[in-house]
Amino acid sequence: MEDTAKEPSTFRPVTHVIFDLDGLLLNTEIFYTEVLDDLCGKYGKKFTWELKHQMMGRKERDSAQFAIDALGLPISVDEYIAHVREELNRLLPTSRFMPGAEKLVKHLYEHGVTMAIATGSDSFTFRKKTTNHGDFLQMFTHYVLSGDDPQVRNGKPFPDIFLVCASRFPTKVNPEDILVFEDALNGVKAAVAAGMQVVAVPDERADLSEFSDATLILKSLLDFRPEAFGLPAFGS
């Protein structure tokens, strides 16, 4: 599953990298599906892939309101979030790396590539997800959590999170010199709106035609070749 519409020769060399977190670096999306399947089932509603696809990448409260409106759930945003957080508190600390994530980040770090994380998570869920990945986090200069970062006024698909993340790199960097990795369509749209190249690694259920704005579409991070974007090749 790779986008062949764009040839590697059209890719711009980059100096900095921004990663999404959920479903891209960590397998936490499966936990959100499990929890929301249960919550929606309590009210006789079905949490579908189509709904999840539209929610991915949004801020926590935006995502909650979207689900409530779409399904007509008879609960408030605060009640929705309270239920989800209670269940995620149990599940998120068991998160594991997505295929190729640890290898790629470690490779880039060892070759001096500056990296950051930009996620729709808030501080609470971010801590839970990364409970057992403290050493991994040390390889990033910073992480932007749009769920409770006051400078990120609008969540994905707006570009705010990536522009804020770029502004916090230790040295000034232009958007065109940044490569974003995303699994969600909203995240791809946000990166493109920010003027950055973006590698999409969608869920296998996704309609790839919706990701046509991505610079490159891959089945897995295992398939990424850093040298295509001017980054150090594996084995170098």
Q: Which residues are catalytic?
A: 20, 22
Which helix (H) or strand (E) is 6 found in, with range? Answer: none
Tokens of 125: 């869920």
Which residue(s) pair with 142 in the sheet? 116
Whole-number Cα distances in Å, 136 to 139, 140, 150? 6, 8, 25
CB 85 within 8 A of CB 121: no
Closest CA to 200 of 60, 3, 58, 13: 3
CB 47 within 8 A of CB 33: yes
Q: Give burial (CB, 10 Å; 0-12/13-18/19+) of 75.
A: middle
Whole-number Cα distances in Å, 108 to 17, 175, 179, 201, 202? 9, 19, 12, 18, 22
Which residue(s) pair with 114 in the sheet? 16
Tokens of 53: 């696809």
Which helix (H) or strand (E) is 142 found in, with range? Answer: strand 142-145
Tokens of 184: 């969600």
Instruction: Work out the number of other CB atoms within 10 angstroms of the CB of residue 158.
Output: 18
